[in-house]
Amino acid sequence: MKIVPFEMERWQSTWENSVDYNLSESGVQPIPLRELLREEAATERFLDHPLAYSQGNGTPELRSEIADLYRGATPDHVLVTTGSSEANLLAMWHLVEPGDEIVVMLPNYMENWGLVQAFGGNVKSLRLREDRKWQFNPDELSSLVTRKTKAIAICDPNNPTGAVMGDAQRKSLLDAARDRGAWLLSDEVYLGAEREGPRTQSVWGDYERTLIVNGLSKAYGLPGLRIGWIVGPPETVAALWGYHDYTTLAPTYLSDRLAQIALAPKRREEILARTRSILQRNYAILADWIRDHGSLFSYVPPTAGAICFLRYALGVNSSDLAWRLLKEKSTLIVPGDHFGMDGYIRVGMGDAPAYLTHGLERIDALLRELRAEKGKA
Ligand SMILES: Cc1ncc(COP(=O)(O)O)c(C=O)c1O
């Protein structure tokens, strides 16, 4: 099997732990283990856990907490995975046969775009339009989805734009999937990471052939747990578990228990409130910085996620810009090229305020040099 490189993940996994400022991350500052465990008694109890194999599809306790998030779902509707990235992999592996047409929302976290191709499917692009505040055109969707469409893969709230799907788009999506009998695969890993506005509504519950992907890495600030999940019809979830037997077997024992703590109803709301306050505080810093650059940047303010997708007027390729920033200023951002969109950069804003400010100062230093070079040319 040939794979297309997952450019953004290669870029991040190569550099994110060695740069001075990592502004490539799309989630908020991770919660320390001590903060998650909170009291000494809980920490003590935790130390007594055996480092054993855990239940392959997730413990019933964890699956029950996850099921609570989805109207009418039971633990049998849930498969716990190693990150939401594994959830996407299992879903696509199961769904895509060579020659299948899969409609993929773009731009997107490019995992599903790459997986469709790896499994021999054909990607049909459903474009988010900047002039529509990063919404797709419902007419375009209905012309893309045909009887040959096996699945429609969306990411809502969206990475990299931070946009949340509008009501008209949601309706058109469900109508199109239902009319043509296509599966709906919705990656909702930023659900709950809304900077403003109401909690994003999952597409779960309105249509039988729906698979929801989510996890604790973004809205919950717990990427190191590597806990993700799929919610779907029980018979499909049972089939997906069979694929999981070929990948990671089971979530790690400790992560499953820590996820139970994070998803207890009161605690999960506290965690999501923490995320929102980080986003509000840091977006103010980033928005000021953008404003100080006048017409250099244009953008649609993100609704969710610790990311801002900026169009820049510099006449420099986005990968070249990101590379110079990495090599000369030890600062990591994601070039628009990684989403097939040169002329944009994605800037992460989820870390501590001072860290964000210093990272942005490094970008400023490069911008000054670029201006000076242009002046000389
Ligand atoms: C939309 C989306 N889905 C999935 C993932 C993978 O996350 P994880 O495997 O850490 O849950 C990411 C990571 O950036 C993402 O942005």
What CATH number is given to the structural domain containing 71?
3.40.640.10
- Rounded Cα gap, residues 322 and 319, in angstroms: 5
- Rounded Cα gap, residues 152 and 173, in angstroms: 8
CA of 187 to the centre of ligand 1 (A): 8
CA of 91 to the centre of ligand 1 (A): 14
Structure tokens belonging to residue 142: 């209905």
Q: What is the mean pLDDT of residues 217-241?
A: 98
| End-to-end alpha carbon distance in the chain | 47
| Domain shared by 144 and 276, yes or no | no
> Quick one: pLDDT at residue 39?
86
Nearest CA to ligand 1 atom 1: 109
| Domain shared by 219 and 340, yes or no | no
Average pLDDT, rounded, for the chain: 97
Q: What is the mean pLDDT of residues 221-241?
A: 98
The rounded percent of the chain whose pLDDT value lies above 70 is: 100
Across 31-52, b (16+ Cβ under 10 Å) vs e yields beeeebbeeeeeeeeeeeeeee
Number of domains in the chain: 2
The rounded percent of the chain whose pLDDT value lies above 90 is: 97
> Quick one: pLDDT at residue 181?
97
152: pLDDT strictly greater than 80: yes
What CATH number is given to the structural domain containing 316?
3.90.1150.10
Residue 1 is assigned to a structural domain of this protein: no
- Rounded Cα gap, residues 136 and 80, in angstroms: 30
| Preceding peptide of 234 cis, ω within 30° | no
| Preceding peptide of 138 cis, ω within 30° | no
| Domain shared by 256 and 285, yes or no | no
106: pLDDT strictly greater than 90: yes
237: pLDDT strictly greater than 80: yes
Give the pLDDT band of residue 266 (cuts 50, 70, 90): very high
Give the pLDDT band of residue 375 (cuts 50, 70, 90): confident
213: pLDDT strictly greater than 80: yes
- CA nearest to 5, candidates 237, 340, 374: 340
Residue to probe by mutation, ligand 1, list 9, 66, 217, most atoms within 8 Å of CB: 217
Nearest CA to ligand 1 atom 15: 109
| Domain shared by 112 and 260, yes or no | yes
Q: Which of 221, 248, 264 is the last residue of a domain?
A: 264
CA of 377 to the centre of ligand 1 (A): 42
| Domain shared by 256 and 272, yes or no | no
| Domain shared by 141 and 218, yes or no | yes
Residue 375 is assigned to a structural domain of this protein: no
Residue 339 is assigned to a structural domain of this protein: yes
| Domain shared by 135 and 239, yes or no | yes
Give the pLDDT band of residue 374 (cuts 50, 70, 90): confident
CA angle 13/19/23 to nearest 5° reads 75
Q: Which amino acid is at 186?
A: S
> Quick one: pLDDT at residue 225?
98
156: pLDDT strictly greater than 80: yes
> Quick one: pLDDT at residue 42?
87
- Rounded Cα gap, residues 334 and 328, in angstroms: 16
CA distances from 303 to 222, 280, 299, 311 (A): 20, 10, 12, 17
CB-based pocket (< 6 A), ligand 1? 26, 83-85, 109, 155, 159, 187, 189, 215, 217, 223, 228
- In the chain, alpha helices (H): 7-15, 33-37, 40-47, 60-67, 83-95, 111-118, 138-144, 167-180, 234-244, 253-263, 265-291, 318-329, 353-376
Residue 2 is assigned to a structural domain of this protein: no
Residue to probe by mutation, ligand 1, list 105, 113, 218, 247, most atoms within 8 Å of CB: 218
pLDDT one-digit tens code per residue, 332-354: 999 999 999 999 999 999 999 99
> Quick one: pLDDT at residue 377?
72
Q: What is the mean pLDDT of residues 160-181?
A: 98
| Domain shared by 27 and 70, yes or no | no
Nearest CA to ligand 1 atom 2: 109
Cα dihedral 16/21/25/30 (nearest 10): 100
| Domain shared by 255 and 273, yes or no | no
Q: What is the mean pLDDT of residues 302-315?
A: 97
Q: Which of 230, 249, 264 is the last residue of a domain?
A: 264
For residue 87, give the ligand 1 atom closest to its CA: 9
> Quick one: pLDDT at residue 78?
99
Q: Which of 210, 237, 264 is the last residue of a domain?
A: 264
| Domain shared by 224 and 306, yes or no | no
> Quick one: pLDDT at residue 40?
87
Residue 310 is assigned to a structural domain of this protein: yes
- CA nearest to 333, candidates 291, 376, 371, 297: 297
> Quick one: pLDDT at residue 296?
96
Domain that holds residue 319: 7-32+268-370
> Quick one: pLDDT at residue 238?
98
CA of 216 to the centre of ligand 1 (A): 9
| Domain shared by 283 and 229, yes or no | no
Q: How many CA atoms lie within 13 A of 325 on its CB side?
A: 29
Residue 353 is assigned to a structural domain of this protein: yes
pLDDT one-digit tens code per residue, 353-365: 999 999 999 999 9
pLDDT one-digit tens code per residue, 9-44: 999 999 999 999 999 999 999 999 999 999 888 899
CA of 85 to the centre of ligand 1 (A): 5
- CA nearest to 107, candidates 91, 126, 87, 123: 126
Residue 376 is assigned to a structural domain of this protein: no
Residue 37 is assigned to a structural domain of this protein: no
- CA nearest to 88, candidates 220, 164, 188, 3: 188
Any idea which residue has 């909702």 for tokens? 188
| Domain shared by 112 and 229, yes or no | yes
- Rounded Cα gap, residues 269 and 226, in angstroms: 20
Q: How many CA atoms lie within 13 A of 222 on its CB side?
A: 29
Any idea which residue has 């018979």 for tokens? 235
